[in-house]
């Protein structure tokens, strides 16, 4: 089977051109094996690019646990870059993902601008601020100079599997340090549901952070820094607390391609 490997700020994906619908989509064990960093190709997730009427393509996203996941922002950006490489799109895309339709554009430098869903508001919880940006996220703000040494795995796992979110299927958890100087990036580390570990970057996560940070004075576009690199999020904030015209912006890069025996 032919595959392509892509990454967006260190969040990496196995990409499959499944326009002929030949990938065994119900084989969760196969997805896990392909994403395994020791026994497979290795990735945070696997994405199928499929044809779909009325859209340029459909994006079907699997977490590395082998199961279909909710929206993946960095995965969406990488799928746009993949579609561009395949000639499915030129510089603009209209595609369907788990949370509904998306629009995107890609420039000559591989920077993808992806429109995310509108967000109705945010909920304060004992664990942090809760938002759904296509995937559920908790945003927890930390004191200055504590993020680098923070135990993201242990603290994130405790929230992800905690009683408050168990009935919702769990949540992703973002830990954030505000910039000391205005205009500098907000620092973000994320524990991802479905990967069940910290990832180098999470697109829906930094989107949630940017929107939560707006209540703390952040102004669109918000610069954000993850372990894997820099992203930015722009938005319009309305008087009722809703966010519209939310865009995730950042690089999406082809890494390599090859064939693997199934």
Tell me phi and psi for residue 212, to 5 degrees: -65, -35
Q: Is 193 annotated as contributing to ligand binding? A: yes
Q: Is 35 a catalytic residue?
A: no
Q: Is 28 annotated as contributing to ligand binding? A: no
Q: Is 174 annotated as contributing to ligand binding? A: no
Catalytic residue among 71, 72, 80, 195: 72
Which residues, including other chains, have CB under 8 Å from residue 112's CB and lie 6 or more apart?
A: 8, 77, 78, 80, 81, 104, 105, 106, 249, 250, 251, 252
Q: Is 245 annotated as contributing to ligand binding? A: no
Q: Is 151 annotated as contributing to ligand binding? A: no
Token code pair at residue 14: 């196995």
Sign of torsion over alpha carbons 150, 176, 8, 168: positive
Q: Is 204 annotated as contributing to ligand binding? A: yes
Q: Is 11 annotated as contributing to ligand binding? A: yes
Catalytic residue among 16, 131, 188, 202: 202
Nearest CA to 14 out of 120, 151, 33, 26 is that of 33
Sign of torsion over alpha carbons 41, 57, 90, 204: negative
Question: What is the distance, to the nearest Å, from the Cα of residue 154 to the centroid of all Cα atoms in its chain?
Answer: 21
Give catalytic residue positions: 72, 202
Annotated binding site: 11, 63, 73-74, 172, 192-193, 203-204
Annotated binding site for substrate: 11, 63, 73-74, 172, 192-193, 203-204
């Amino acid at each position: 089977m032919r595959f392509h490997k892509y990454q967006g700020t260190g969040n990496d994906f196995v990409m499959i051109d499944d326009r002929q619908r030949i990938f065994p989509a119900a084989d969760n064990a196969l997805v896990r094996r392909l994403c395994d960093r020791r026994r497979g190709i290795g990735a945070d997730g696997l994405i199928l690019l499929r044809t779909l009427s009325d859209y340029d393509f459909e994006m079907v996203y699997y977490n590395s646990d082998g199961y279909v996941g909710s929206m993946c922002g960095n995965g969406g950006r990488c799928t746009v870059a993949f579609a561009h490489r395949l000639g499915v799109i030129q510089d603009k895309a209209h595609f369907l993902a788990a949370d509904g339709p998306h629009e995107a554009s890609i420039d000559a430098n591989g920077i993808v601008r992806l429109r995310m869903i509108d967000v109705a508001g945010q909920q304060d919880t004992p664990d942090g601020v809760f938002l759904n940006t296509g995937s559920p996220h908790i945003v927890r703000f930390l004191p200055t100079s504590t993020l680098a040494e923070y135990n993201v795995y242990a603290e994130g796992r405790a929230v992800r599997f905690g009683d408050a979110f168990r009935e919702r299927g769990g949540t992703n958890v973002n830990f954030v340090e505000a910039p000391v100087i205005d205009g500098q990036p907000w620092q973000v580390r994320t524990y991802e549901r479905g990967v069940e570990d910290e990832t180098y970057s999470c697109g829906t996560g930094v989107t949630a952070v940017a929107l939560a940070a707006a209540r703390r004075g952040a102004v669109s576009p918000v610069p954000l820094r993850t372990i894997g690199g820099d992203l930015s999020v722009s938005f319009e904030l309305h008087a009722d607390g809703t966010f519209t015209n939310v865009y995730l912006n950042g690089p999406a890069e082809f890494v390599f391609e090859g064939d693997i025996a199934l």
